[in-house]
């Protein structure tokens, strides 16, 4: 286990128009973290997700991945940090409809130039979607698409999985199934897990909880 946290945001601010969406926010995500960030709609949760995922550069402050300041490296190196250490589960899944479930999950490996079909097979087995490998996203249920998205997030064995509203489009039964899948991923594959959500059903399921209010985080 590294001495550095997986992710560390320090004094991060993001300004949109005349509003400071994030205002001097700091947080550290250690290797074994299972973190929930809650907040009302419009509180800045998706902005925080994008900043921690190196998808958006903050106006001030820094984000480090395994101790490397993302602002101090080239865009190519920043892309490599995302590829090698971060897995993403997006609110709207962002699966490619013309690709099969398996091809969607394999895409990050192809981007990295290192396809490991044995690992993908393991993921599909563990996530109980092996029988869906040749199906395309439009033919899958919301829960099935979410599991494919989780397989894609794990394709490159990330250090941390970031999930933006992973249960926002799901019914209660499917929400429970997806949460159990994410928790199993956290424990089985030795990844940190950070979920941002306004879903009140999630609160008691996470040992580390924060509320995003007025651009900052407080223990929830």
Tell me the per-residue pLDDT of 158-188, one tens digit each, with 9 for 90 and over: 999 999 988 877 788 878 888 888 888 888 8
The position carrying tokens 């299972």 is: 34
- For residue 103, what are its two tokens? 């091809």
Contacts (Cβ under 8 Å, ≥6 apart) of 146: 89, 93, 166, 170, 174, 178, 181
- pLDDT interval class at 3 (50, 70, 90): low
- pLDDT interval class at 92 (50, 70, 90): confident
- At the topology level of CATH, where does 31-58+68-219 sit? Rossmann fold (3.40.50)
Cβ–Cβ < 8 Å for 58, 74: no
- Of the candidate ranges 5-14, 66-75, 89-98, 164-173, the one whose mean pLDDT is the lowest: 164-173
Tell me the per-residue pLDDT of 10-66, one tens digit each, with 9 for 90 and over: 999 999 999 999 999 999 999 989 999 999 888 999 999 999 999 999 999 999 999
Q: DSSP for 29-91? A: E-TT-EEEEE--TTSSHHHHHHHHTTSS--SEEEEEETTEEGGGS-HHHHHHHHHHHEEEE-T
Tell me the per-residue pLDDT of 96-135, one tens digit each, with 9 for 90 and over: 999 999 999 999 999 989 999 999 999 999 888 999 999 9
- pLDDT interval class at 2 (50, 70, 90): low
d(CA 155, CA 106): 7
Q: Please tell me which residue, 161 or 199, carries the higher pLDDT value.
A: 161
Q: Indicate the pTM of the whole model.
A: 0.90
Mean local confidence (pLDDT), 206-215: 94
| Rg, C-alpha atoms of the chain | 17
- For residue 118, what are its two tokens? 């044995």
d(CA 133, CA 9): 37
Please state, as a whole number, how many other Cβ atoms lie within 10 Å of the Cβ of residue 181.
Answer: 20
Amino acid 121: pLDDT:
95
């Amino acid at each position: 286990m590294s001495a550095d946290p997986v992710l560390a945001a320090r004094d991060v601010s993001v300004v949109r128009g005349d509003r400071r969406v994030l205002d001097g926010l700091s947080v550290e995500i250690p290797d074994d973290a299972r973190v929930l960030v809650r907040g009302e709609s419009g509180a800045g949760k998706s902005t925080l997700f994008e900043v921690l995922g190196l998808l958006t550069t903050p106006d001030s402050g820094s984000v480090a991945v395994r101790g490397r300041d993302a602002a101090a490296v080239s865009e190519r190196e920043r892309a490599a940090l995302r590829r090698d250490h971060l897995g993403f589960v997006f609110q709207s899944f962002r699966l490619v409809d013309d690709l099969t479930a398996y091809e969607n999950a394999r895409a990050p490996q192809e981007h990295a130039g290192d396809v490991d079909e044995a690992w993908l097979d393991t993921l599909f087995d563990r996530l109980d979607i092996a029988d869906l490998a040749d199906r395309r996203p439009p033919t899958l249920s919301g829960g099935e698409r979410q599991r494919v998205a989780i397989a894609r997030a794990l394709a490159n064995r990330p250090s941390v999985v970031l999930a933006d509203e992973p249960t926002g489009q799901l019914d209660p039964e499917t929400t429970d199934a997806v949460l159990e899948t994410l928790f199993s991923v956290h424990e089985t594959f030795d990844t940190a897990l950070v979920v941002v959500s306004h879903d009140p059903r999630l609160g008691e399921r996470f040992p580390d909880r924060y509320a995003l209010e007025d651009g900052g985080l407080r223990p929830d």
